[in-house]
Chain A
C-alpha cells in the first residue's frame, strides 16, 4: 500500500510541524533570546542582523522573540473557543437528536436562526460592542460556530439511534446517559475530530481578521495575527520582515492544521460532504 505509506509520511511531517509550533509556544520563555515586550527606542526598525535575526519592530523589540511567543495567544484562544463551541454543539446536538419532538424543533429552529446571521459581521459586532477582551472574542466565536457542531452531532445521533442495537439496548434497560456516552459519542468521534481541526484553523484566521480591525488580541501581547495586521502594516515597505515572518508562521500553522484535517479524513474514511467546512 504505497498510498497509505505516503499518507503516513505526510501525517508524520504535519504532526511534527504542529508539535514543534506547540513546543515553541510552550517553551517560549526559554527559547526567546529577548523579552518580547522589552522596548529599545534607540534601535527601532532594525534590519535583520546577528543580534536580531529577524530585526526589530517600531518600538525596538526583537521580532524573533515576539514570533516565538506569538503563537501562544492565537493557539490558546482558537483551541479554547473551539472546545467551547464543540461543547455547546455537542449538548445541543445530542439533546436535539436524542430527544426529538419539541426539543429538537426548538434547537433546530434556534440553530437555523444562528446560521442565518452573517458570521463575520456578528463577530465584529459582538466584539466591537462588548469590547475586545478574551471573553467577548470567545463568546463571539462560539456564537458563530456552535451550529456546525450541533448539526453534525444531531445528524449522527439520529443515524446511530435508528440503528437497531440501541433499540435493543433500551429494551435491556440501559440508561439514556449510558447510551449516549457509551454508544452514541464513540460513533461520532471521527467526524467531530475532523470538524474540530478545521475549525481551529479557521478560528486562527478569524481572530487575525479581528486584529485587522483592532479588535483582536490586545497589545503588547505578542500575537501573530496582531503582528501582521496591527501597526506593522504602516512599516511594511521600509521593514517588510515585520510582516513576512509572522505571516508565514500563521500560514504554516493553518496549512498544517488543514492538511492534518484532510489526512484524518482520508485515514478515517469519512465521506467528504458529511463534514462541511463552514
Chain B
C-alpha cells in the first residue's frame, strides 16, 4: 500500500485549501477507523500550492477537458453539474480519510440519541449572483429536496434515503440549522457528505424543483454555457469565499469513445481527460513516460468484484469461492491489465471508506486448485461468465475474464468450461437475478461515506443487491450483525460490527473482491495542477496553464 501513503500526502497538500479557518470543532462523532493514515487529521489547513510561477502566464485562455459523459447534465439533473466542477458546494465534504469535513457548515453536533442534529453555517459566503448564504437558504434547499426524488447521472437525490425519517428542519438563528429525525442516526454526517448536502441559490429552481436555468452555487466557478451532449463551459467566479481558481475558463467536452478521447488528447485538442474511466490503463502506460503528458493517479472508491452465484453449484460451496479467490493472482491482474493502477482487494469495503479494515490478500494457486478439485471433482462443469457492457468498455474486463477463464479451465483433474458473455447491463442484471450465471465482473462504488446500505444490500439475507445480483448469500451471524447495526446508536459498536463484517467477507466471500480501483487521469504538460482526487472542494481551482 505504499502508493496510498503518497497520494494521501498529496491529497492533504492540495485538498484542504477549502479549510481556511474552517475547523471541526464541536464534532462529537469521531470514529477512528483503522484506515486513517497518520498526519491526515482533518481541519489542518495547509496553503495550497497555487501557481506562484503563473504571474506572466496568460490564464485567460480556455482550458479544454474531455470526459465520457456530460459534466453538466442540465436542468433535469438533481445537481445540474458534477460536484468536481466547483459550481456548487455542499454543507459537508470529506477529508483524505473519507470522514466528514466542513464545507458550507463549519461545525455540527448531535444530541445523545442522535435524533437532533445541529449545523453551524459558514458566515460571509455569497453565491455567485451576490445572494448571501444563510440558514434560510439551507431550509429552501430542503423544501426543494422534498419535491423529489430527483434523478441524476451522479447520485440520485432522494430525501428519504439521505435524510431518512426527517421530522423537521428549522433554523435557530441565521447561521444555525437543526434537523430532527424520527430515529437515531449516529452516522448522519457521513451520509450527508458531498452530494448528500448540495446547496444552491433557491431562485435557480423551477416550480417543480428542477433547475430553471444555469445553477447558482457558492463555488469558485459558474456555468456560462451548456450544450447537452457536446460541451459545457465554466468561468471563474471572482467573489468566491475561499481560494479562487487560477485559470479563467474551462470547457468540458463530451467524448464517449475512449479511443477518440485519447486521440483528442494526443492531437492537442483537449488539455486533459477527466471523470470515470478518463483514460484506459494501457493508454496511460503509453504516455506515462512522455514528458508532454502528466498522468496522475489518485484514490477511488470503486471496488472491482467478481460476483458469484452462491445459490447454484459450484459456487454455493464456500470452498469453491475460497478456491477461486486463492487461485487468481490479483497482483498479476493489476500489473498486466491495469498497468499497476490498483490495489489487491481482500475484503468487501473499499480502502477509501472511513470504516475500512484491511484484510490480507492470499494467493496460493495450489491450495486454490485443491479446494476447487474437492468441490467439482472430475465431472464436467459449465460456468457462465457475464461481462456487463458499460464496465467492459471502461475497464480491461475482457482480458481479465479471459485470464480467469484460462485459470479455471486449466485445473488439472477437473473438467471446467467457462463461457464468457458480454452483455448490456440491463440484460446482464436480468440474467443475474434469475440465477442464470456463475460469475460476473462488476464495479461497486461507495454510495455514501456510511457503508451500512452496502453491507445490508450485499450481505444480508434478502438484501437488495444480494437478490438482484443473484448472490444467494445467507449467513445467520451476518444477518444478526446487520440487524444490530441498524438499531445501534453507538458509533464504536458500529465500527466493531463493520470490521467484523469485513473479516467475514474475506473468508466467506459473499462475492470475491478482486481489486480496489485507483483513479487515473491524464493531462497535457501544457497545464499543471491537475490531480486525480476524490476529496474536497478544490475541483479545478489548482488547474492552470503551465506556459
Task: Verify whether A and B have any Cβ pair under 8 Å.
Answer: yes
Total contacts A to B, CB within 8 angstroms?
Answer: 67
Whether A58 contacts B337 by the Cβ 8 Å rule is: yes
In the complex, which of the residues B282, B399, B420, B421 contacts A59, with contact meaning CB atoms closer than 8 Å?
Answer: B399
Contact A131 B398 (CB under 8 A): no
Which of A48-56, A147-155, A233-241 lies at the interface?
A233-241
B389 touches A214 (CB 8 A): yes
Quote the shortest CB–CB distance from A134 to chain B (angstroms): 12
The size of the chain B interface, using a CB distance under 8 A, is 30
CB distance from B279 to the nearest CB of A (A): 10
Contact of B402 among A128, A132, A219 (CB under 8 A): A219
Question: Does A214 contact B392, Cβ atoms closer than 8 Å?
Answer: yes
Residue pair A58, B399 in contact (C-beta under 8 Å): yes
Is B401 a contact of A235 with CB atoms below 8 Å? no
Within 417-473 of B, Cβ neighbours of A (below 8 Å) are at 419-424, 427, 431
Is A8's beta carbon under 8 Å from chain B?
A: no
Does A112 have its Cβ within 8 Å of any Cβ on chain B?
A: no
Do the beta carbons of B421 and A131 come within 8 Å of each other? yes
Within 8 A of B (CB), among A183-235: 213-215, 218-220, 230-231, 233-235
| Chain B proximity of A86: nearest CB distance (Å) | 29
Q: Is the CB of A237 within 8 A of B422?
A: no
In the complex, the chain A residue whose C-beta lies closest to that of B407 is: A39
Q: Which residue of B lies closest to A131 (CB)?
A: B427
Write the nearest CB–CB distance from A217 to chain B, whole angstroms. Answer: 10
- Considering only CB atoms, which chain B residue lies closest to A124 in the complex? B424
Name the prevailing secondary structure of the A interface residues: loop
**A44 x B419 contact (CB < 8 A):** no
* Contact with B398, one of A213, A231, A238 (Cβ below 8 angstroms): A231
Contact, CB under 8 Å: A238 / B282: yes
When the two chains form the complex, which single residue of A41, A218, A219 contacts B336, counting CB atoms closer than 8 Å? Answer: A41
In whole angstroms, what is the CA distance A103 to B112 when docked? 81
A3 within 8 A of B: no
Check B163 for interface membership: any CB of A closer than 8 A.
Answer: no
Q: Is B396 part of the contact surface with A, judged by Cβ < 8 Å?
A: yes
CB neighbors of B among A55-73 (8 A) = 58-59
Out of B286, B332, B393, B427, name the residue touching A237 (CB < 8 Å): B286
Query: How many angstroms between the C-alpha atoms of A128 and B427 in the bound complex?
Result: 8
27 cross-chain CB contacts under 8 A:
A37-B406, A41-B332, A41-B336, A58-B337, A58-B396, A59-B399, A59-B402, A59-B403, A131-B423, A132-B422, A133-B421, A214-B389, A218-B419, A218-B420, A218-B421, A219-B398, A220-B405, A231-B396, A231-B398, A231-B399, A234-B259, A234-B282, A234-B396, A235-B282, A236-B259, A237-B283, A238-B286
Using a CB–CB cutoff of 8 Å, the interface residues on chain A facing chain B are 37-39, 41, 44, 58-59, 128-133, 213-215, 218-220, 230-231, 233-238
* Given A58-B337, A219-B402, A235-B282, 14 extra CB contacts under 8 A: A37-B406, A41-B403, A58-B396, A59-B402, A132-B422, A214-B389, A218-B421, A219-B401, A219-B422, A220-B420, A230-B398, A234-B259, A234-B280, A238-B286
6 smallest A-B Cβ distances: which pairs? A214-B422, A39-B406, A231-B398, A234-B282, A58-B399, A220-B402
